[in-house]
Amino acid sequence: MISIVTPVYNEEDNIVFFYNAVTQVMKNTSYDYELLFVNDGSRDKTEMLINQLAQKDSHVRALTFARNFGHQIAITCGMDMACGDAVITMDGDMQHPPELIPVLLEKWREGFDIVQTVRTATEDAGFIKRMTSSGYYAFINSISKTPIVPGGSDFRLMDKKAIQVFRRFREHSRFIRGIVGGMGFKQTTIEFEAPKRHAGVSKFSMKKMLHFAMDGVITNSTIPLHLAFYIGILAALAGGLLILHVIYCYITGSAVPGWSTMTILISLFGSINLMGLGILGEYVGKILEETRNRPLYWLSNDTAMDKSTPYYKAHNHSGT
Q: 205 and 144, same structural domain?
A: yes
Q: What is the mean pLDDT of each run of 10 residues along the chain (320 residues)?
A: 95 93 94 95 93 95 91 92 95 92 96 92 60 68 71 90 92 84 90 73 62 65 72 79 80 74 77 77 74 65 52 47
CATH number reported for the structural domain that contains residue 188 in this entry = 3.90.550.10
- Distance CA(172)–CA(299), nearest Å, equals 24
Residues 37 and 176 in one domain: yes
292: domain range?
222-320
Q: How far apart are CA 46 and CA 64, in angstroms?
A: 10
CA 262 to CA 272: how far, in whole Å?
15
Confidence at residue 216, expressed as pLDDT on a 0 to 100 scale: 62
What is the pLDDT, as a whole number, of residue 309? 47
Number of structural domains, the chain?
2
Which domain-ending residue is among 220, 244, 272?
A: 220
Q: Is the pTM of this model over 0.75?
A: no
The domain boundary residue, chosen from 198, 220, 242: 220
Domain co-membership, 191 together with 273: no
Q: Which of 175, 193, 220 is the last residue of a domain?
A: 220
pLDDT at 291: 76
Q: Are 38 and 115 in contact (CB under 8 A)?
A: no
DSSP 257-278: TTHHHHHHHHHHHHHHHHHHHH
What is 289-300 written as a DSSP string? HHHTT--S---S
